Structures are given as structure tokens and as C-alpha cells.
């Protein structure tokens, strides 16, 4: 391939994405960028050790400084933005000006819409940008597109995902596997769904349901935001119902709803002992610290259920992934399913497999192909028809 990839954000998902590119893309170079050069060095050295080649090199970069970011992108053919979701549109603008292709991990549909509005500028620059290339949003929607691609007609698509600790501890039975800001956004913002062919905004932490998972037993699933990305808008008129829920151990939703209902995630300032604070920022700080103390291996459950017609018959298909942290590479399941999926899209762009412009994730690449690529990476995918 002989292409140069730039990874912005030397955290968990960015490192996994860089590893995947090093292993599967035959890159010329991978530039691992971070605001803190020590983080970039640590990530680059880890990737190089795992693949046995000095493909990855560290760089210091300020993602929110256009001059710094533009310099970082000088050699890059494709940028993978693995920083907090709210930064992506700012980065996308610089990437377009630098004539660099880009994918991001997304996490908030309204924010991703800001990137998609740059379509004309991206086409003029001759580059491809795809937001929401993570796990949920991201991979879960490939389950949905698989159903659409392989059924004759599709009535309903239900998507589920949860990244969980293998040895849960009360009260939350949860392991923080990504940015705390993204977690609160999932639990607080409204979810976009397609219900009886109409776009609906649904409150999060609602519509609680029991879910049986073969390896875990009874779990719970509830509405969270961001998981559907822009798919409900894209598939309106083609699919009647399209929705997403997060999977957790029983009781988690009730506890999180207490924080939401009692204003712990508020963004308006309040006065406490003469000082102005934002409740959400305090919650971020306290919960990040508390959850960081809990160290455990992780596992991920991803499920898609599609109903429709095939060859004139009513069908119900189900796709399941149950993935655990990889003991050999040390990558968590969250890192594997998020980072590897992002890398698959970035590699496809580098191979000139996508058209130019700002593309919706669900139409940028066939879901069937993404699942095939993921299977090549050792992720077991079960199909039930």
C-alpha cells in the first residue's frame, strides 16, 4: 500500500487502531500523535514491539491548534481521530484544508452531523471523511447494513452492545473503557430511532428490557444515545424500525438514572460555598477517579436482530459477537472492536475504496465486508437464521 496513516490520540482505541493498520495495511508509516509526547512514545513503542517493526513513530500535536495539527498532517494520507467526540468537527475542518482523508470514532450524532455538513468542501479538496467509525456508533450499524444487504426486505433492526468487566463489582458492575465524557453523553442525550417509519427522539435510560446472553445469562438493555448514528435518517422509507440499546448487568440502569434525574449531569453553573461549579464536570472528575481504581479484564457483547423477508418467507436473523480481552496482545475487547473497526474503514479509504466527500458510516462501506474483515482479525461472529 505504501500509505502514511496518522493517529490522533494515543489512548486505548488509537493504539489498537495503529496496531491493526501496522498488521493489515502494509503502511509506509504510522504517525502516533498526542498532546503529551510521552503518551505518543509509549503507544508507538508498544505497536512496534507487537508487530516487530519500527512502523510507528511518535509526535507531539495539539489537536485544537490548527497550525500544530496541519503540520502533523503534512505526510498523512489518512487521519484517524481518536480524541473526545466534541473535537472531531474542528479537526475535520483542518483535515480538509490539509487535503487529508479522515475517519473519527464519533459518539454524538449531532456532532457528527457538523462534520457531514462539510461534504462540499471535502469533495472540492478531493478527500473522504467518515465520522462515527467506532463500536457503537460504528460496528453495530454494520450488523444493520448486513441485514439490509442480504434480506429482500427489512422490517425491524434492533441493535445492542455492551462492554463489561469479566469480574463485575457492585454497585455499578461496570468498567470504564472509554472517555468519561462520552459515557455521560450516551446516558444523557436523546437517542435517534426509526419507529414505524418515523424519526423519533427517545429519552435515554428508558425502555428497559431483559436480554439473555448465552455466556452471561440474564442481562439488561436500555436506550442510550449515539448508537444508531445517522442510520435512521438514511434508512427511513427502507426500514420501518431501527433502534439501539446498551447492555449492562442488571440494576445498572436504575443507578445511573438517579444521577440523571437528580441533576448530577447538569451543565449550568451552580453556587457551592461561594464558588461556581458545573455538576457534570464534578461528576466526571469523581467518577473517573472512582472507576479508574477498578482494574479488570473486559468483555464485549454485540448483537443485531433483523426481521423481514427472504425468498418470500418471513425471517428473523441474529448476529452475535462475544469477545474477551486478548491475553497475547493485551488489547481489551473495547480496544479490539473499536480500534480494529476504525482501522478497517481507514484502510478502505487508503485503498481508494470509497468515494470522495463526507460519507455516512452506514453507506460508506458494505456491512457484509466489514464483518468479513473483522473475522480475519480473530473476532468470532455467530450468525443465526
CB-based contact 107:89 (threshold 8 Å): no
Residue 74 phi, psi (nearest 5): -55, -40
Q: Look up the pTM and report it.
A: 0.93
Categorize the per-residue pLDDT at 291 as very low, low, confident or very high, splitting at 50, 70 and 90: confident
Alpha-carbon gap, residue 226 to 361, rounded angstroms: 13
The pLDDT assigned to 159 comes to 98
The pLDDT assigned to 182 comes to 80
Backbone Cα Rg of the chain: 20
The pLDDT assigned to 85 comes to 87
Identify the helix (H) or strand (E) that includes residue 325. Answer: none
Categorize the per-residue pLDDT at 375 as very low, low, confident or very high, splitting at 50, 70 and 90: very high
DSSP state of 269: -
* Residue that has been written with the C-alpha cell 435515554 in this structure: 204
Alpha-carbon gap, residue 284 to 162, rounded angstroms: 20
Burial (0-12, 13-18, 19+ Cβ within 10 Å), 187: buried
Categorize the per-residue pLDDT at 294 as very low, low, confident or very high, splitting at 50, 70 and 90: confident
For the chain, report the end-to-end CA distance as a whole number of angstroms: 37
Vertex 222 angle, CA 221 and 225, to 5°: 130
The pLDDT assigned to 238 comes to 95
Task: Tell me what the mean pLDDT of segment 279-298 comes to.
Answer: 89
Domains and CATH numbers, the chain: 4-134+334-377 (3.40.50.720), 139-324 (3.30.360.10)
pLDDT, tens only, 184-223? 989 998 999 999 999 999 999 999 999 999 999 999 999 9
Task: Tell me what the mean pLDDT of segment 291-313 comes to.
Answer: 93
- Number of continuous H segments (helices) and E segments (strands) in the chain: 14, 18
CB-based contact 185:225 (threshold 8 Å): yes
CB-based contact 224:146 (threshold 8 Å): no
* Residue that has been written with the C-alpha cell 441533576 in this structure: 263
Categorize the per-residue pLDDT at 252 as very low, low, confident or very high, splitting at 50, 70 and 90: very high
Amino acid at each position: 500500500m505504501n500509505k502514511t496513516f496518522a493517529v490522533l490520540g494515543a489512548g486505548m482505541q488509537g493504539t489498537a487502531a495503529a496496531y491493526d493498520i501496522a498488521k493489515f495495511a502494509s503502511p509506509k508509516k504510522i504517525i502516533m500523535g498526542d498532546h503529551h509526547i510521552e503518551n505518543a512514545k509509549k503507544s508507538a513503542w508498544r505497536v512496534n514491539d507487537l508487530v516487530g517493526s519500527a512502523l510507528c513513530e511518535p509526535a507531539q500535536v495539539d489537536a485544537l491548534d490548527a497550525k500544530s495539527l496541519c503540520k502533523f498532517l503534512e505526510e498523512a494520507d489518512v487521519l484517524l481521530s481518536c480524541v473526545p467526540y466534541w473535537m472531531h468537527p474542528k479537526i475535520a475542518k483542518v483535515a480538509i484544508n490539509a487535503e487529508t482523508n479522515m475517519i473519527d470514532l464519533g459518539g454524538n450524532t449531532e456532532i457528527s452531523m457538523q462534520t457531514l455538513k462539510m461534504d462540499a468542501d471535502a469533495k472540492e479538496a478531493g478527500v473522504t471523511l467518515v465520522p462515527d467509525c467506532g463500536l457503537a456508533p460504528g460496528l453495530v450499524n454494520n450488523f444493520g447494513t448486513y441485514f439490509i444487504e442480504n434480506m429482500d426486505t427489512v422490517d425491524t433492526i434492533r441493535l445492542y452492545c455492551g462492554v463489561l468487566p469479566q469480574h463485575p463489582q457492585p454497585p455499578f458492575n461496570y468498567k470504564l473503557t472509554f472517555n468519561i465524557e462520552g459515557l455521560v453523553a450516551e446516558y444523557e442525550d436523546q437517542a435517534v430511532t426509526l419507529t414505524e417509519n418515523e424519526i423519533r427522539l427517545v429519552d435515554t435510560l428508558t425502555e428497559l428490557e431483559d436480554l439473555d446472553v448465552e455466556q452471561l445469562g440474564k442481562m439488561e438493555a436500555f436506550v442510550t444515545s449515539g448508537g444508531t448514528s445517522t442510520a435512521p435518517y438514511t434508512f427511513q422509507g427502507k426500514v420501518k424500525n431501527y433502534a439501539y440499546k446498551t447492555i449492562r448487568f442488571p440494576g445498572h440502569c436504575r443507578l445511573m438514572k438517579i444521577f440523571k434525574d437528580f441533576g448530577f449531569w447538569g451543565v449550568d453553573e451552580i453556587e457551592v460555598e461561594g464558588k461556581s461549579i458545573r455538576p457534570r464536570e464534578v461528576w466526571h472528575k469523581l467518577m473517573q477517579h472512582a472507576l479508574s481504581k477498578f482494574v479488570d479484564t473486559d468483555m464485549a457483547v454485540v448483537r443485531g436482530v433483523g426481521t423481514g423477508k427472504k425468498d418470500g418467507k418471513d425471517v428473523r436473523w441474529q448476529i452475535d459477537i462475544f469477545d474477551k480481552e486478548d491475553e497475547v496482545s493485551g488489547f481489551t475487547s473495547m480496544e479490539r472492536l473499536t480500534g480494529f473497526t476504525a482501522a478497517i474503514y481507514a484502510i478502505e479509504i487508503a485503498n481508494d475504496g470509497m468515494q470522495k466527500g463526507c460519507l455516512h458510516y452506514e453507506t460508506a462501506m458494505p456491512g457484509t465486508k466489514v464483518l468479513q474483515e473483522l473475522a480475519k482479525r480473530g473476532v468470532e461472529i455467530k450468525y443465526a437464521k
